[in-house]
Structure 1
Amino acid sequence: MARYTDFTKDLNKAIDQVCSSEYQEMFEVVAKDPPYSFTMEQRILIDRYPNLITWYNGDQRHIVVERIRRTHLKWYDNWLTQYNTGQPPYVKWNSTMEQAILHLHNLLFRLDLGDIFTSDESYKECRKIADTVKRILVSVIKSNPITIDQAAVPYVRMLIQILFYFSVDNDLAIYLKSLELVNLMNDLLRTSNNDNEIHLNAYRILAVILVEADLKQLQNSDRIATVFIDFMKNTIDQGVTHEGRLHNILRSLKALTQHEQIREELIKQNGSSLFLRCVMEDKDLLKAKLPALEIILALAFNKDSATLLKDNANFMDCIRTLTSSSEQTIQRVATALIWKLEKDEPTIPSGTITTKKQYDIMISYSHSDKDLCHRILESLEKDNFKVWIDSHMMHGATFDAMAKAIENSEFIFICMSDAYKQSSFCEMEASYGIKRQCRIIPLVMTPNYKADGWLGILTSPFTYIDFPKLGSSRAYEELKKQIQLIRMNDLSSTVIKQDDLHHNTISSVHDRLKTTPNVEIKKEPRQVVDYPDFIDKWTEHHVESFLLEKELNILLPVIEGMDGQLLHQTYSMCQANQQSMFLLFREDIARSQQTILSLREYLTFLKEIKAYIPHTTGKQLNSTSTVCNLM
C-alpha cells in the first residue's frame, strides 16, 4: 500500500509538472541548443516525469492524456511554426533532443497505443499541426529537391512520424486524405536516400490514404513490400520487447493488402513465411498475431497462396486451434480462414440455386458504417422487406450463416466505403455473392467514395445508389425503384440456356432471344471452319465462328461486326490495359445482355486469341494480369 501511495504521489507530481509552463520553457531551451547531456533538473522534467506518465496504464489514463494535450497541443504547433521553417539551418539534433521529442510525442500523439482523442478541441489542434507539418515538409523538399540534407533527416523523421500517428485515428486519417499528401510522400521517398525510418512511415501513411490509382502511379509495389518485410524480419528477431512496433508495422501492412499489387508482391517476396511466424511461433506476440492473421486472410484470396496455406498441415492445425481462442477477434479471423480455405466454393454447384428465397435482402457492410446501414435497415423493415444483417461481428459458425444468407437472399446490398474495401470479411461476402450470381445493388456509404481495386471490379456492372450525394430519403426511394426495376426485368426476361447458344450464329442468337422457353429448338451441327493462321486475314465470319466454337458467345455483342484486323487491335488494347478493358467489356455486356462477363471467360478469350497473334520480339505482356487473382 505504501508503494502504491508513493507511486500515486509521484505520478500526480509528474502530471502537474509536465502540464506547467516551466516544462514548455525548458523544452524550448533544450530544443534551441541541445546540450550533450541533461542537467539534473532537465532530466527530471523532460525525461523522467514524461516517462513515468507514459508507463501509467490506470483507469484515469485518458483523463491524464487529455489534460496534457489541452495544455501542450497549441503550444507545440506554435513551436513548430516558429522554430521550424523547413529551411536551413535545421533544428540541431543529438541524443538529448531525440529524448525530449520522443517523450513529448509519446504523451501527445501515441494514438497507436490506444490514447484516443476525447475532445473536439484536441482534434482541431491536431488538424492544425498536420497542416504545419505538411508545410514544413514541403519546404524541406523545395530546399532539397534531389537529396535531403543529412542534417535535416532526423528532423524529417520526427515530422513524418507525427503524420503516421495521426493516420491511426479514423477522423484524422480522413483529414490527412484531404491534404493530398501522396505526392509529398512520394517526394520524401525519392529524396531521402532510402532512409528506412522515413520510408517505413511514408508507406504507413500511404497505406491509409492511397487509392488504387495512386498505387499504380507510384509504380513501386515491390519497394513497399520490401521495406515492410525487412522491418518485420528485424523486429520479429528482436522479440517481445518490440511487439508494439511489430503490431504497428503489421497493422499498416494490413491496410495495404486491400491492393492486389501489394498482395502479389508480398507473396512473391515470401512475406507469408513471416506472417506464419507471427501466428505459429510460441513467442508471446498476441498483439502481432491478430493483424498477421488478417493479412494471411487477405492473401488467401490469391489462389496459389490459398493452396500453399491449405497444404501446410501445421498451419491448418494451428488455425483450427485458434478457432477456439479465448480472444474473440483472433477466433473470428481464424474461423474466417478455415471457411475461406475449406468451404468457399469456387463456382456455383449445379442445381443449388433456388428461385424461392427466405430473405428479400442481405446487407453486406463494414461495422464502421453501421449507423447508416441500420437506418437503411429500419426503412426496409418498415416497408415489410425481409432483411438479413449481421448486427454483431461474426465469429464461430456464423460464417456458414453468412453464406446461407447470401444463398437465400434475393438481393445483396454491398455497402461500399474505404472501410468495406479494407475488410477481408467484406471481400469474402461480396465475392461469394458474385460467385452465387446474386442480384447486387451497391450502396455508397461515405461522401465522394469511388470504388476501385477488387471492389470496383466486382461492382462495375451494377448501378450505384449514392446515399451521401442524394441524401438518405431520396437515395432510399431510388433504392426501392432499383429493386422494383430488377424484379420487373426478371419477370419479363426469357431464360435461355447457354448450351443452346453455342451452336448458333449471331443472327440466330438474336432470333432465339425472341422465343419462349417452352419452344423446342432443334440444334444443328456447326460447320467446321478453317481459320487462317494469321488473325489479320480473318473475315467477320471467321471471328463470329471462332467465338461460338470456343463457347465465348457472351462476347458476341461486343465483337459484333469485327474482322480479324479489328479483333487483333482489340486484343492489343486488352494486353495494354487488361483491367480497364475487362471492366469495359463487362459493363457493355451487362448493359446489352443483362448478364455478367466472368473473369474466366475474359481470360479464356485472351488465351484462345493469342494462338493466332503473330510472335513479336521484346517484352511480352502477361495475360494473367493483376485482375486474375481477384476472384
Structure 2
Amino acid sequence: MYTNFELLIAELFTTPVSTKVVYQLNLILQEQIDVSLSKFVAECFSSILKLESWTWCLLSQDFHQWINESSYRELLYSLASFNKKLVYDYSGIEVDRKAALLFPVTVEQIKNIFQQIEQATDDNDPFISIVSLWFDNHSYFVHDNPHVTKLSITDYINQYIVERYIMNRLFKSYLAELQRLDLSSTVFTAKMLFHVRTSLFSLFSYLGTKDHRYFYTADEMLRYLSDDYLQIIHVHHATVAQWNRDLLACIGHLTGVIAKCYWSDEKNGTNTKILFPTEQVTCNHVRELIQILSYEPFYKEIRSVRWNDETVLIDSILMVLLNIVKTQNINWFFRSNLSIRETLLNVAENSAYDEICLRAYVVMGEVLTDEQLKELKITNSMAGFFFKMLEEAWQHPSKEYKQIPIQYLLRDFQILSKNDSIKQRTADLSKVQLLIQVSEQYQTVYDILWTLSFNTDVQQQLRSNSFFMSKLLHLTRERKDEKLCQIVNGILWNLHIHQQSRPSSDISSQNTFDIMISYSHKDKSLCKQIYDELTRRNYRVWIDFDQMHGNVMDAMAQAIDRSRTIIICMSEEYRKSNFCRAEAHYAFQQQRHIVPVLLQKHYKPDGWLLFLIGQLLYVDFTEHELNVAIEMLLKELSANDVHEVDVQPVIPKDVAEVILPSVSRTTTSKTKALSVDTERHNMLQWTQAEVQEWLTKHRLVQLCRLLSDCDGRSLVQLYKYMKGGERSVVISLLEDDCIRRLNESISLIEISRFRSLMHQERWNK
C-alpha cells in the first residue's frame, strides 16, 4: 500500500491531475485515520510532506478551479481529519516532525488564503469551511504544544486574524446576533463561524504559547469582548439543552479567550473590574456558568484531549471559575451554594480530560472549607489524582504529564495543600520523599513543604530525611535567595529546629508593646488605619509594614514575646498564609491575649484559624463604619487592660465545643487545697493550683508541667477540643507546645489517660 501511496503522490504533480488519483488518495487516508499513524508516518514521511505542501498550494490558489469537484473536497476533508489525528497522536511521532508535516506553508500562501475568504461572495462557500479546518488544526497543534519553538507563521496568522477578523464591526455584529435568544440556525454561516469560532480558537491557542506577541493588551481585549460575553452567557445559560453545535462552539471559544485574557492578569488583578465591575455581577455570572456546567449530557462527550467543542466549553468555563476564585473574595458564595459543590464534584468525577478534572479539584480546594471537603469525601481521590500526575511528570524526560508542565501541577498543588486533609493524605501516601526529590529542580516545592509541615506526620517524614535536613540548614546559611531562605526558615521553625524556648512570661519591662497586629499584607490598607487609630490613643503597637527581612520567624517570635495582646486580622488570605499561621500558632502557644477582628466581608473563620480563635468575640470591621469598629475594638482592649502586663481574657458565657485560645491571665481567687472529694461539677471554677493537684494525683506528670498555667475552664476547653477537633491538628499543637516549652515529645499515653479521666468526670455526664 505504501508503494502505491508514493506513486499516487507523484501523480499529483502532473497536469492535469486525474480525479481517480485524488479519489484513491482519499481512500488511503481514510484507512489511516482508523489506525495508529506512527508506522505510516515513518514509512511515508516524504510522500505525506509532498501531499501537505500540494494541499497548501491548492488552497492558496483560485479555489474556483477545483471547489466544485467532489473528489477534491472529499480528499481535503479526509486530510483535515488525518491532520487532526496527527496532532493528538502520542505513539512516538516527534513534535518537530508533526510541525513539518502540518505546516509546510509560506506567509504568502496564508495571505492568499485570507484574501480569498474576504473576496468570497457566498457566506456559506465550502472553501471557507475547508480552510477553517486547516486553521483549526494549526490551533490544535499550537495549544497542544505551547512550550515548543513557535512556528514561523504563527505570529503572522494571529496578527492577521486579530486585526482583520476580530477587531472589526463585522465581528461585533456577529456577537450581537449571538445575544438573541431566538437564534436561527441560518445565522451560523461559514463566514460567521470563521470569524467567531475559528478566529477565537486561534487567538486562544496563541495566547498560551511562550513569547507570544501582544497585538492588543489583555486589558484592551477584555474591554472589547466583556460586555458581549457576559450578555451571551446571560441570555443562553438557562436554555443549554436547546443549544445547537454551532452555538456551543462559539460560546466555548469565546469563553476560552476571556479566560486567557483574565488569566494573563492573575497576579495584578487589574482586569477584574473590567469583566466584573461589582460583586453581584460576579456572583450572577458564576451562577450562570454553573448552570451550563451542570448539563450532564456534556460529560459523556468530554474527550481525553481538548479535541471537541464540549471539552473546550467545560474546560473554558472552569478556567474562568478558577480565575474568579483566585482574584476575588467570593469563596463565601461557593461555600453557601450546595449545587455549585455538587456540580464541580460531578465534573471532576466524570471527566476524561485530566486538565478539566484538575481544574475542578483546584476550584474546590480553593473555595471549600476543610469540613466541606470532608463531607464530599474527595480528599483521598484529589491527592491520589495529583500524585499520579506528578510522579509521571517527574519521570518524563520533558517533565510533563500529557502536555501539562510539572510547574503547573506544582502551582495547583500549592492551592490544594492548604487543606489540612490533603496534608494528612500526603503523609498517609508517604509522598513527602517524592516532593523532596522534585524540590531539587523546582523551588516551588519548598513553599509546598512549608505548608505541609504544619502536619505532625509530615514533620516526622521530613525529619527522617537527614540529607534534606542538612540541605535546609545549608540554605539558611547560604542566604543567596532571601525569599527561599524565609521559606526554609519557616519549615525549620515548624520542625522545631534552632528555635529558642521562650516562656510565656518572657515580657521585658523595656521596649514592650501593648499590641501586635498580625495580618496578611493583602489587608495592609485597613490594618494601617487600625494602627493609626491605636497609636493616636497612645497604644504602643508593633506591626510589620515593610515585610521583614532576614530570619522572619525569629523576628516574628520576638515581636510576639514583646507584645501583650495580639490582634488577629481575619480574612481568607490570612488563613492561607503560612507566615500568618505560624504567627498565630506562636501567639497561641505563648498564651498571649488574642483579639480577633474580621476584615473580609462574608468570611467565616475555618480550618486552623477557627481552631485557634474558637468562640472568642471579634470585632467585625465589615459590618460597621471604621470609627464605630475602632470604638468597639478599643472597648475590647480596654476591658482587658492591655496597658498592664496582667490581662484578663474575654470568655464567652457558655463553654463552647471549640477551645478558646490560651491567654495570659491572673486570678483574683486565693489558692485552695483541692480535696479528693471536691464536687466535680465545680471543675469549671478550679484554680491553677487545683488543676495541678488533680493532674499530679492522677500521675499525669508531663501534662502537669505543660498545663502549669491552666485553670479549670481551660482544662475543660482542652478536653472539648480533643474530643471535637481534628486529631492531627490537636496532636500537632500539643506537640509544638511540648517541644517548645519542655524540650520533649508529647506522651500519647498521658493524652489517652487524660481523655479517659475527663470522660469519667461528672460534669461530662
TM-score (norm 2): 0.58
Query: Hey, what does 2:568 align to over in structure 1?
Result: 414
User: CA contact under 8 A between 2:253 and 2:312: conserved in structure 1?
Assistant: no
Q: Is the Cα contact below 8 Å between 1:141 and 1:187 reproduced in 2? A: yes
2:389 maps to which residue?
Answer: 231
Change in 2 beyond 3 A, CA 1:219/1:132:
same
CA distance in 2, matches of 1:182, 1:45: 37
Structure 1 counterpart SS, 2:595: strand
Would the alpha carbon gap of residues 412 and 557 (structure 1) be closer, same or farther in structure 2, given more than 3 Å must change? Answer: closer
Deviations 1:162-194 (A, max 9, x none): 21232222x2x5278368455323234236644
SS, match of residue 603 in structure 2:
coil
Letter paired with 1:294 = D
**Cα contact 1:362–1:387 (8 A) shared by 2:** yes
Letter of the 1:16 counterpart: E
Q: Which has the higher contact order (CA 8 A, sep 6+)?
A: 1
1:120 match: 273
Name which of 243, 259, 264 aligns with 2:424: 264
Among 16, 20, 27, the alignment partner of 2:163 is 16
Q: Assess if the C-alpha contact under 8 Å between 2:162 and 2:215 holds in 1.
A: no
Shift of residue 205, structure 1, vs aligned partner: 1.1
Deviation per CA, 1:91-126: give whole Å up to 9, x if none: 649xx9899569735643324765743473332399
The answer to whether 1:189 aligns with 2:325 is no
1:297-319 deviation digits (Å, cap 9, x = unpaired): 12211223223323423323443
Question: Residue 590 of structure 2 aligns with which residue?
Answer: 436
The answer as to 2:749 corresponding to 1:607 is no
Aligned-residue offset at 1:417: 1.0
CA deviation vs aligned residue, 1:493-532 (integer Å, no higher than 9, x gap): 7569999867766479999x999x9xxx9x9x99xxxxxx
Residues 26-425 of structure 1 aligned to structure 2 (within 5 Å): 45-46=199-200, 55=209, 64-81=217-234, 87-88=240-241, 92=245, 104-105=257-258, 107-111=260-264, 114=267, 116-118=269-271, 120-124=273-277, 131-132=284-285, 134-135=287-288, 137-138=290-291, 141=294, 148-150=299-301, 155-169=313-327, 171=328, 173-174=329-330, 177=333, 180-181=336-337, 183-190=339-346, 193-195=349-351, 196-238=354-396, 239=398, 245-281=405-441, 285=442, 289-290=443-444, 292-320=445-473, 322-323=475-476, 324=478, 327-343=481-497, 349=503, 352=506, 354=508, 358-425=512-579
- Asked if the contact 1:117–1:123 (Cα under 8 Å) also holds between the matched residues in 2, the reply is no
Structure 2 unaligned segments of length 5 or more: list them.
1-152, 179-183, 303-309, 649-664, 731-744, 761-765
Opposite residue 490 of structure 1, the aligned amino acid is: D
Give 1:394 shift.
Answer: 3.2
State how far apart, in whole Å, the 1-side matches of 2:217 and 2:186 are.
25
Alpha-carbon distance, 1:379 to partner: 1.3
Q: Does structure 2 retain, via aligned residues, the 8 Å contact 1:182–1:209?
A: no
Percent of counterpart pairs with the same letter? 19
Q: Is the 8 A contact 1:298 1:424 kept in 2?
A: yes
Aligned amino acid, residue 167 of structure 2 = C
Q: Is the Cα–Cα contact under 8 Å of residues 11 and 52 in structure 1 kept in the other structure?
A: yes
1:490 is matched with 646
Residues 386-409 of structure 1 deviation map (CA, whole Å, 9 limit, x = unaligned): 222111233422321211111111
CA shift for structure 1 position 71: 1.6
Q: How does the TM-score come out when normalised to structure 1?
A: 0.69
Distance 1:328 1:353, change over 3 A: closer
Q: CA deviation at 1:459?
A: 1.4
What do residues 434-484 of structure 1 show as CA deviations (whole Å, max 9, x unaligned)?
111112211211123322221112112633222222332122222222222
CA distance in 2, matches of 1:504, 1:355: 40
- Answer whether contact 1:33 1:92 (CA < 8 A) is retained: no
Summarize the Cα distance change of 1:219–1:394 in structure 2 as closer, same or farther, 3 Å threshold. farther
- Cα distance 1:126–1:76, how it changes in 2: closer, same or farther (>3 A)? farther
**Partner AA of 1:215 in structure 2:** L
Check 1:201–1:398 CA distance in 2 against 1; reply closer, same or farther (3 A cut): closer
Residues 1:140 and 1:46: Cα distance change in structure 2 (over 3 Å): closer
Residues 600, 354 of structure 1: alpha-carbon distance in 2 compared, 3 angstrom cutoff:
farther
> Which amino acid is the alignment partner of residue 411 of structure 2?
R
Report the counterpart of residue 538 of structure 1 in structure 2.
Answer: none
CA contact (8 A) 1:412 1:433 kept: yes
SS of the equivalent of 2:430 reads: coil
| Secondary structure in structure 2 of the residue aligned to 1:109 | helix
Contact conserved, 1:77 with 1:132, CA < 8 A, in 2?
yes
Alpha-carbon distance between aligned partners in 2 of 1:490 and 1:125, rounded to the nearest angstrom: 46
| 1:231 positional shift | 3.0
8 Å CA contact retained: 2:513, 2:540: yes
How far, CA to CA, are the matches of 1:102 and 1:463 in structure 2?
44
d(CA) in 1 for partners of 2:420 and 2:186? 44
Shift in alpha-carbon separation, 1:613–1:168, aligned structure 2, 3 A = closer
How big is the shift at 1:293? Answer: 1.9
Q: How many residues align?
A: 547
Q: Structure 1 residues 234 and 335, CA, compared in 2 at 3 Å: closer, same or farther?
A: same
Alpha carbons of 1:397 and 1:448: their partners in 2 closer, same or farther (altered >3 Å)? same
Tell whether the 8 Å contact from 1:504 to 1:548 is kept in structure 2 after alignment: no
Q: Deviations 1:553-605 (Å, cap 9, x if unpaired)?
A: 96756999xxxxxxxxx99x98874469x99xxxxxxxxxxxxxxx9799956
Cα distance in structure 2, aligned partners of 1:179 and 1:484:
36
Aligned to 2:8: none
Aligned partners of 2:457, 2:331: CA distance in 1, in Å? 38
Q: What is the match of residue 630 of structure 2?
A: 476
